[in-house]
């Protein structure tokens, strides 16, 4: 059998994780990295896997979805997790690292691996590379490469900024207040949940919104605000009634009893199971804590748990649901994989996790097989999310809302999350023994 050729483009978190897992399993990998000759706006040093914005890798506890994801990755031999614990610094229940040491450890492990060849070169066209190609170039992918990727994925399938609204856990929405209805549609029929507001409730929300604090921005992010969707707080500052003619327009959304509303916030189901809902038109650049404080002033969201906060920043990513399968492989080009934030996952841990999944998928392909990560795990749920067509696709981080729902309702949140975590780890161990080992 001809030796498999695997080329990984980008030595960030996803690229390093992917290359390392492949190399550990006997695959020769060519890892392309444009540093130190070229750097994006955020890169500061010459090491691989640079953490550019924060040193926090989120919670370690299993009742937190990112904590569970890290435990799943550890069970599958993750280099990312190994180096994170090696460079860990005190941070309570969170896993925080010394950024310099973490990056140094990742770089050493990858550079010193006998099965990994490092090529210091900026790749501009992946179609000129033979063999399997893993695109792991991150949210600030080089412009020339992006232009060539458009020829492969399609002009309308590649995005250059992330203007995303918050997503809330469906179980934390007050169903006594929310009613189901499409605009001008029949009562109790439709794809939207609606949260009505009185004049007083709207005015209280409006004042809190225009006074809320924005998140600090990188210099390269500042241009994004007016290129695409307007942040809701910017729209609100145009005038007190502006939102009433925009995302909070009440027209066609009367209450089931026919009563008119002063304002209405619409929530759109984010997945087929309707375990998550998106706040329609609420793309925002507010600090995460401010989003929670202000948006919980909306009737029905007083106890909302945010699966994902709204963001507005420069971010290159593909419309993965239309392009990739559950192995992060292009449906129309079986030699091309995407990993990291360009694939539609969001966050440090999630990016590394996607690289890990791509590596195991390639190892299975070498044996003529295809694997599917269990949908009871965070790994499998992320893979399912990014590969499911969604006309409103936006990048996703680890959260319990994307996991396969439990057969029974558990009201206590901590008990529910612990149950999901137990099922996840049990199913992953079983899958590892019965599927993965036989596939690679």
Q: How would CATH label the architecture of 6-160+316-394+407-429? A: 3-Layer(bba) Sandwich (3.50)
Three-state SS for 31? strand
Over residues 142-154, the pLDDT tens digits come to: 889 999 999 999 9
Percent pLDDT > 70 in the chain is 93
**Could you tell me the strand order of the sheet in which 276-279 lies?**
179-180, 192-197, 263-269, 276-279, 167-169, 306-308
Distance separating alpha carbons of residues 165 and 86, to the nearest angstrom: 35
Whether omega before 36 lies within 30 degrees of 0, making that bond cis, reads yes
Structure token pair of residue 43: 């890169």
29 neighbors 117 (Cβ within 8 angstroms): yes
Distance separating alpha carbons of residues 238 and 199, to the nearest angstrom: 18
Check pLDDT > 80 for residue 59: yes
Structure token pair of residue 138: 């991150």
**pLDDT at residue 1, as a whole number:** 47
Over residues 335-372, the pLDDT tens digits come to: 999 999 999 999 999 999 999 999 999 999 999 999 99
Fold of 167-309: Elongation Factor Tu (Ef-tu); domain 3 (2.40.30)
**Could you tell me the strand order of the sheet in which 88-89 lies?**
56-59, 94-97, 88-89
Over residues 67-102, the pLDDT tens digits come to: 999 999 999 999 999 999 999 998 888 899 998 999
Distance separating alpha carbons of residues 255 and 260, to the nearest angstrom: 6
> Can you give the pTM of this predicted structure?
0.84
State the chain's mean pLDDT as an integer.
91
DSSP state of 128: G
Structure token pair of residue 350: 């999630």
Please name the residue ranges forming H helices in 280-412. Answer: 288-295, 320-323, 348-366, 378-387
Distance separating alpha carbons of residues 169 and 401, to the nearest angstrom: 6
CA dihedral 165, 171, 176, 179 (to 10 degrees): 50
Least reliable range by pLDDT among 16-20, 22-26, 277-281, 313-317: 313-317
**pLDDT at residue 201, as a whole number:** 97
Domain boundaries, the chain: 6-160+316-394+407-429, 167-309
352 neighbors 136 (Cβ within 8 angstroms): no
Over residues 171-183, the pLDDT tens digits come to: 999 999 999 988 7
Residue 374: partners with Cβ closer than 8 Å, 6 or more residues away: 380, 424, 427, 428, 431
Check pLDDT > 60 for residue 117: yes
Least reliable range by pLDDT among 9-13, 155-159, 324-328, 387-391: 155-159
376 neighbors 404 (Cβ within 8 angstroms): yes
**pLDDT at residue 312, as a whole number:** 80
**pLDDT at residue 227, as a whole number:** 45
């Amino acid at each position: 059998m001809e030796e498999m050729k695997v080329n990984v483009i980008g030595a960030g978190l996803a690229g390093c994780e992917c290359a390392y897992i492949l190399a550990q399993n006997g695959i020769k990998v060519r890892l392309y990295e444009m540093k130190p000759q070229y750097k994006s706006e955020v890169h500061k040093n010459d090491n691989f896997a640079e953490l550019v914005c924060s040193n926090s890798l989120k919670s370690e506890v299993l009742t937190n979805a990112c904590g569970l994801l890290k435990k799943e990755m550890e069970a599958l031999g993750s280099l990312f997790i190994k180096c994170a614990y090696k460079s860990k610094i005190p941070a309570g229940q969170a896993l925080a690292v010394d950024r310099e040491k973490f990056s140094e450890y990742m770089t050493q492990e990858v550079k010193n691996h006998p099965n990994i060849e490092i090529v210091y070169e900026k790749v501009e066209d992946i179609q000129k590379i033979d063999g399997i190609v893993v695109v792991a170039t991150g949210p600030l992918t080089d412009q020339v490469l992006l232009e060539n990727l458009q020829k492969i994925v399609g002009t309308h399938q590649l995005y250059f900024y992330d203007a995303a609204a918050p997503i809330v856990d469906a179980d934390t929405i007050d169903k006594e207040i929310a009613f189901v209805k499409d605009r001008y549609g029949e009562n109790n029929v439709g794809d939207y949940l609606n949260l009505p507001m009185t004049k007083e409730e709207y005015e209280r929300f409006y004042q809190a919104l225009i006074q809320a604090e924005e998140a600090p921005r990188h210099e390269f992010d500042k241009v994004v605000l007016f290129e695409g969707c307007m942040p809701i707080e910017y729209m609100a500052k145009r005038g007190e009634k502006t939102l009433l003619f925009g995302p909070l327009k009440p027209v066609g959304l009367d209450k089931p009893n026919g009563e008119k509303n002063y304002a209405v916030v619409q929530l759109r189901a984010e997945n087929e199971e309707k375990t998550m809902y998106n706040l329609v038109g609420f793309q925002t650049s507010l600090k995460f804590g401010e989003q929670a404080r202000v948006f919980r002033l909306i009737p029905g969201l007083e106890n909302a748990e945010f699966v994902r906060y709204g963001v507005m920043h420069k971010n290159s990513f593909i419309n993965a649901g239309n392009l990739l399968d559950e192995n992060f492989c292009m449906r129309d080009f079986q030699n091309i994989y995407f990993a990291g934030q360009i694939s539609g996952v969001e966050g440090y841990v999630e990016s590394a996790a996607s690289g890990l999944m791509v590596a195991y998928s390639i190892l299975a392909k070498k044996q003529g097989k295809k694997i599917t990560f269990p949908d009871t795990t965070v790994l499998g749920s992320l893979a399912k999310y990014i590969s499911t067509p969604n006309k409103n696709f936006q990048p996703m981080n680890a959260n319990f809302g994307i996991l396969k729902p439990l057969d029974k309702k558990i009201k206590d949140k901590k008990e529910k999350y612990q149950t999901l975590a137990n099922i996840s780890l049990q199913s992953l161990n079983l899958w590892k023994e019965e599927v993965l080992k036989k596939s690679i």
